[in-house]
Amino acid sequence: MIPDLRVRLGEWELANPVMTAAGCAGSGRELARFCDISRIGAVVTKSVTVEPRAGRPAPRIAETPSGVLSAVGLQGPGIDVFLQRDLPWLLSRGARAAVSVAGGGVDEYALLARRLSEAPGVTMIEVNLSSPDPARGGRHFAADAAAAARVVAAVREAARADIPVFAKLPADVADLVGLAGECVAAGADGLAMINTVRGMVVDVDTRRPAVAGGMGGLSGPAIRPIAVACVYQVHAALPEVPIVGMGGVRTGADVMEFLLAGASAVAVGSALFHDPSACLRVLRELERELVDRGVERVDALIGAAHHTAGAPGAAAE
């Protein structure tokens, strides 16, 4: 038996549930030397900004136990170069292009959505709500549900109606379910979670933070239980809303865990740093897991942990 790997994110059907996570595969070129990116459910690009940005100074990366602390910032060539160079290349390889966007204000997010909607081939817009808001002292938009909702509403209004808009949420907010609900009410077609978790590493030899700027975003297996809990909690509250789960995914079994918690698709992130072909390996492992368990359709797993005897009716606080 060959299991059916197709999943739906609202009106959007994917050939399989494995995607790349934004920021871990550039615009796909980095992976194409190692695997056929057309076989991945979708390639989620690094966050695109209006203007070119240099990102943060080095050092940007520090290893941690079971994780990676990164402080790259919003580095990229800007929307003009992305549309002229990166998007056409991605589409020429047969990849499904999901584009992450980040802005310094609502108007920038809306402009990015309009520009992407004018280009052919964009199949999803992911709204990075962890971008700092200059008007609020650099706090990220997701720290304020109302601010996040304004961004999502602006993107939804500016984007073409047939392009789904997903809001990407961090875990370190006061009320994740409330934030998710506000984003959906503002027009988000789905949610992506979680972004990296804020952390710090101090170099005991130099007695200084290991990454420039001090704080960074922690990713990798160390955050997977946090991410699974977030997906479970939000799916319990908003079961009809498609979720792309991510955070420390390394294996096909990890993908199953996210699906069971309520994700409809799963993104591979930091595992790509040491294994650029990880998405296809994870996909093969997922298929074997399904065969071994006699699961005929992968979408039958979505949210199944909520219906198993003994499952909590709601996530614990």
Looking at the annotation, which residues are catalytic?
Answer: 131
Which amino acid would we find at residue 290? L
On whether 27 is known to bind a ligand per the annotation, the reply is: no
Structure tokens at 263: 């994700």
Contacts of 223 (CB under 8 A, 6+ apart): 67, 171, 194, 196, 197, 247, 248
Q: Counting every residue, how long is the chain?
A: 317
Structure tokens at 246: 């991510």
Contact 73, 53 (CB under 8 A): yes
On whether 117 is known to bind a ligand per the annotation, the reply is: no
On whether 251 is known to bind a ligand per the annotation, the reply is: no
Give dist(CA 154, CA 237) in Å, integer.
24
Give dist(CA 292, CA 77) in Å, integer.
45
On whether 47 is known to bind a ligand per the annotation, the reply is: yes
Give the residues across from 199 on adjacent strands.
216
On whether 206 is known to bind a ligand per the annotation, the reply is: no
On whether 269 is known to bind a ligand per the annotation, the reply is: yes
> Distance between alpha carbon 197 and the CA centroid of its chain, in Å?
13
On whether 196 is known to bind a ligand per the annotation, the reply is: yes
Helices marked H in the chain — which ranges?
Answer: 29-32, 79-81, 87-92, 106-118, 145-158, 176-185, 224-237, 252-261, 271-274, 278-293
For β-strands 197-200 and 215-219, DSSP reports them as antiparallel
Give dist(CA 86, CA 110) in Å, integer.
20
On whether 105 is known to bind a ligand per the annotation, the reply is: no
Contact 118, 91 (CB under 8 A): no
Query: Tokens 């580095």 map to which residue?
Result: 75
**Residue among 86, 18, 24, 71 nearest 215 (CA):** 71
On whether 219 is known to bind a ligand per the annotation, the reply is: no
On whether 248 is known to bind a ligand per the annotation, the reply is: yes
Please give the annotated binding residues for substrate, written as ranges.
46, 128, 195-196
Please give the annotated binding residues, written as ranges.
46-47, 128, 168, 194-196, 220, 247-248, 269-270
Please give the annotated binding residues for FMN, written as ranges.
46-47, 128, 168, 194, 220, 247-248, 269-270
